[in-house]
Structure 1
């Protein structure tokens, strides 16, 4: 048995390295071989990895329900990473490292989706972050349904990108949030220990379900 994670993929090599780092750490924790795969824009593609006959537990490195989770990955992978309290913990850690004060005005910026189920997940992720942050959190989206950072971020706000890795959306989040007056824009989630914990937990869920089937 091996661990296969699947991320969206980006043309920015550093962004793809986040998936590989998280996957390697989770595989070591689980005591199994591990490989990071991608939906597009990077290699190896998931279809190529799964062409091997070796059995695998597949964990999406995607933060909410959406097209990829419901369509591309539905037959082979478990549920999305988010929403989850461990993601909120990682966000709070990144905000603290950036100098944001707990409980201060905060905006969570997400990539966004037109899928109503994704909207449900993102609202719950916002609420989990508010609980961990100790104050209200407003939500802005870079695409799909919802309000844009220019309409949500106010001067002096802190901003938490709900993004796993650097890439197109992270660059837009930083630029649009700062243009709207944000005082702090935290780093993306990256290979935070809580992300590794969550990937391990998702894999263990699938392994337990297989044993009980």
Structure 2
């Protein structure tokens, strides 16, 4: 059985964010040869309830999040429950994962980083302790690939703030999936370079496919 995939993202009013999610969904659909739909838990639509309303039969809902914080562990299950659907299997968040760390390293190199230059690892921030644990794990994965110990900093909510810990010679590695307000804030900092968001890199498409296949085994019967 190959049920359709519902790719669930946070949502942003920055048009670049939804474009990345739509490209990721289109690439995943081609890779998996299944229909892929998109829904958002906040800010913009279609909402998860609206997206599920347009899907018939069992479905895999995959959170396109880089850490398993409130939106993944609480918000998404509540919205699925509100849809009245009992045939939805929820997959694991995309991060942390080795695939994302490798893409971040590539983005850093493209921004001009070379081994030996200091990296500031920057994430969106969260008040959820388990999400912050995921961010620390992601920083360790990237640090091993770049040859330095990375302590996470944050654009908002959590401490330390990236703006307070980065210096003029640093390169910022954004732990962000898509462009938006947070990446614009990082791009304004007086540093040597800021890498692009992780985006719809082919390795991310492969990761979505792997998470889908893992969750597919738990899809309830219609």
Same fold? TM cut 0.5: yes
- Aligned equivalents of 1:117 and 1:174: distance in 2? 27
2:21 is matched with 19
Map Cα deviations across residues 151-172 of structure 1 (whole Å, 9 max, x no partner): 2112201111110111111111
Among 182, 192, 198, which residue is 1:189 paired with? 198
**Alignment correspondent of 1:206:** 215
Q: Are 1:37 and 2:39 matched, yes or no? A: yes
Partner of 2:85: none
Report the counterpart of residue 68 of structure 2 in structure 1: 65
The Cα offsets for residues 27-52 of structure 1, whole Å up to 9 and x where unpaired, read as 21111011121112222221101124
Note the alpha carbon deviations across 1:34-91, whole angstroms, 9 max, x for none. 1121112222221101124332111111100111011111365222111101110110
CA contact (8 A) 1:15 1:166 kept: yes
Is 1:132 matched up with 2:134? no
Checking the alignment, whether the CA contact within 8 Å between 1:37 and 1:45 is kept in structure 2 is yes
The runs of 5 or more residues in structure 1 that have no matched partner are none
2:11 and 2:43 in contact (8 A); partners too: yes
Q: Give the structure 2 partner of residue 142 of structure 1.
A: 155
- Asked if 1:98 corresponds to 2:111, the answer is yes
Normalised by the length of structure 1, the TM-score is: 0.91
Moved over 4 A (4+): none
Q: Following the alignment from structure 1 to structure 2, what is the Cα–Cα distance between the partners of residues 196 and 49?
A: 21
SS at match of 1:172: helix
Question: CA-atom RMSD, angstroms?
Answer: 1.6
User: C-alpha displacement at 1:127, in angstroms?
Assistant: 0.1
TM-score using structure 2 length: 0.88
Deviation (angstroms), 1:210: 4.2
Q: Deviations over 1:105-127 (max 9, x none)?
A: 10111000000001110100000
Question: What's 2:10 paired with?
Answer: 8
Is 2:66 aligned against 1:53? no
Cα deviation for residue 205 of structure 1 reads 0.5
User: For this pair of structures, how many residues does the alignment match?
Assistant: 207
1:87 corresponds, among 88, 100, 111, to 100
* CA shift for structure 1 position 200: 0.7
**Structure 2 spans left out of the alignment, 5+ residues:** 81-87
**Kept after mapping to 1: 8 A contact 2:58/2:219:** no
1:157 to 155, 160, 170: 170
Q: Secondary structure at the match of 1:137?
A: coil
Q: Secondary structure at the match of 2:148?
A: coil
